Amino acid sequence: MGRRVAKTPLITLAVDRSDPASLQRQIYDRLRHVILSGQIAPGARLPSSRTLARDLGISRNTVLAAYEQLLYEGYTEGRAGSGTRVSDVLPESLLAIRAEGEPAHGANEVAGKLSSLTTGLSGLPPRTARGQRAFRPGLPDVGLFPFDQWSRLLGRFWRRPPEAMLHTGDLAGFDPLREAIAAYLGAVRGVNCDRRQIVITSGAQQALDLISRVLLDPEDAVWLEDPGYAGLRGAFMAAGARVVPVPVDSDGLSVAAGEARAPDAVLAAVTPSHQYPLGVTMSLTRRLELLDWAGRCGAWILEDDYDSEYRYAGRPLSALQGLDTAGRVIYVGTFSKVLFPTLRLGYMVLPPALVDPFLSVRAALDDQPSIAVQPALAAFIDQGLFAAHIRRMRNIYAERQQALLAALQSELSGLLDVAADEAGMHLVAHLRDDAGLSDGEASAGAAAAGLTVPALSEYFSGDSDTQGLVLGYAALTEDEIGEGVKKLAEALTSPP
């Protein structure tokens, strides 16, 4: 076992010479309080008596006497060569004292007022658990990312960066990165743009926040796919917008239903290439219908292209933005699912008329995105490393989808109906009518087994008869997929 490195916590003590209690008693009481309140963890070393005496301007013997009392009563223990430490195990009597001093309300109960926004957002479906756990949707396999090449690109730029870049940056982001993104989107996604229309953001969620701030006023109506991504709903609710759920059918978002429910909507948010979570691709007829509505009504369309890189069958699909001739579509993309989530880089492709308004709002809010990794990402794209990584991961994810399909068919064919998806990083498995449990119950059972399997019904704005499970597979090896499905089968078929 390695030797533990000693750490002395930073604590603030003070004595009051006008207090009738002795200085020794005051030091004892204050140290006892920080121990019982957990401000100093068990095993942590207290400041040396010499240091504490000097800081308080009192005799070292006074501090030593207080330390001796703490030691005698079991709050601390002395260790040769390592000073005085908080006891690793506190007596039950001390734990009882701590409990008596806890506030009357629960640890998670808020005593003060919360905004109506906070209260509203608390009703959204919970985010799935953090960390890599089968079958959390949306996670890439970060272990296969080419970090050797990435680190070289980072080091090459930052060993001697241009001095001007250390003082200020472009509101829209690093210009070579914007150029690289524009070239990539034009070649691969059929997006019509140049670098001047691209604004770099700290992930797609910041893009959604900027869009909400620039385009929406309180009570403005927004069409949102139902079922759909809760992160979109949260961004619009934060802007005070009136979120209008619009059903999704086999052709994508129903424009007719949207016009019936909110003909005055100023924005429609869609995932046309791979609807989240159902995986539906918006048909050409429906795309043209949506563009026609936006042009007639002067409304905007937010195209969230969150995982279009991973398409395994059929012809590559062009973006909705490529069909837009009236400048109504805002295209949002992210690198989080292609590279790694904590990269926190995304982008918007704005209609030319919106560039200046967006940059004016950004200037007031956060000035500019962090420049730290943008030069490396620009080089990563320009040198073909980005495209090579996508090609490699596309093949691997396609194999993992097949492994998940085979495992579900083998272990859960009596409970779940699931089909292959031409794109994406997750599958939707529908619960059979005779399954004997709801998807909420199935999700809870999976969680008890150590799995993250969101219920499909959670993605609907209200109660839904559509029951299923959303299973992410991209971050899991084929062995992990097999083991995870066996655990899921045991959780769903074992009696409670």
247 vs 227: CA distance, rounded Å? 7
**Does residue 16 belong to any structural domain of this protein?**
no
Number of structural domains (the chain) is: 3
Q: Is the pLDDT of residue 230 over 90?
A: no
pLDDT band at 90 (very low <50, low <70, confident <90, very high): low
DSSP 303-340: EE-SSTT-B-SSSPPPPGGGG-SSS-EEEEEESTTTS-
Looking at the chain, how many residues does it have? 496
Structure tokens belonging to residue 11: 């604590």
**Does residue 380 belong to any structural domain of this protein?**
no
Verify that 286 and 237 share a domain, yes or no.
Answer: yes
Verify that 96 and 48 share a domain, yes or no.
Answer: yes
Structure tokens belonging to residue 248: 């999704």
**Which pLDDT value is given to residue 59?**
86
Structure tokens belonging to residue 120: 């509203």
Verify that 353 and 419 share a domain, yes or no.
Answer: no
Output the CA torsion sign for 200, 204, 208, 213.
Answer: negative
pLDDT in tens, 2-24: 333 345 566 777 888 888 788 88
Q: Which residue has the higher pLDDT, 194 or 435?
A: 194
Q: Where among 318, 339, 370 does a domain terminate?
A: 370
35 vs 15: CA distance, rounded Å? 17
Measured CA distances, 317 to 188, 332, 376 (Å): 9, 16, 28
Q: Are strands 416-417 and 221-226 parallel, antiparallel or unpaired?
A: unpaired
**Which pLDDT value is given to residue 38?**
76
- Other CB atoms within a 10 A radius of the CB of residue 145 amount to 16
**Does residue 421 belong to any structural domain of this protein?**
yes
**Which pLDDT value is given to residue 60?**
87
In this predicted structure, which of 198-202, 223-227, 314-318, 459-463 has the lowest mean pLDDT?
314-318
Verify that 359 and 442 share a domain, yes or no.
Answer: no
Verify that 430 and 345 share a domain, yes or no.
Answer: no
pLDDT band at 134 (very low <50, low <70, confident <90, very high): confident
Verify that 417 and 348 share a domain, yes or no.
Answer: no
Structure tokens belonging to residue 57: 């301007």
**Does residue 151 belong to any structural domain of this protein?**
no
Q: Are strands 221-226 and 267-270 parallel, antiparallel or unpaired?
A: parallel
254 burial via Cβ count (<10 Å: 0-12, 13-18, 19+) = buried
pLDDT band at 83 (very low <50, low <70, confident <90, very high): confident
**Does residue 217 belong to any structural domain of this protein?**
yes
Verify that 343 and 206 share a domain, yes or no.
Answer: yes
Verify that 211 and 353 share a domain, yes or no.
Answer: yes
Residue range 39-50: average pLDDT? 83
pLDDT band at 39 (very low <50, low <70, confident <90, very high): confident
Structure tokens belonging to residue 4: 């533990």
Q: What percent of the chain has pLDDT over 90?
A: 59
Residue 79, domain CATH: 1.10.10.10
Q: Are 353 and 360 in contact (CB under 8 A)?
A: no
**Which pLDDT value is given to residue 105?**
46
Verify that 289 and 425 share a domain, yes or no.
Answer: no
pLDDT band at 353 (very low <50, low <70, confident <90, very high): very high
Q: Where among 78, 100, 122 does a domain terminate?
A: 100
Range(s) of the domain holding residue 486: 392-493
pTM score, whole prediction: 0.77
Verify that 71 and 220 share a domain, yes or no.
Answer: no
Would you put residue 465 in left (φ > 0), alpha (ψ -120 to 50) or beta?
A: alpha
Residue 253's nearest CA partner among 221, 278, 217 is 278
Give 164's DSSP letter.
G
Residue range 301-312: average pLDDT? 91
Verify that 357 and 405 share a domain, yes or no.
Answer: no
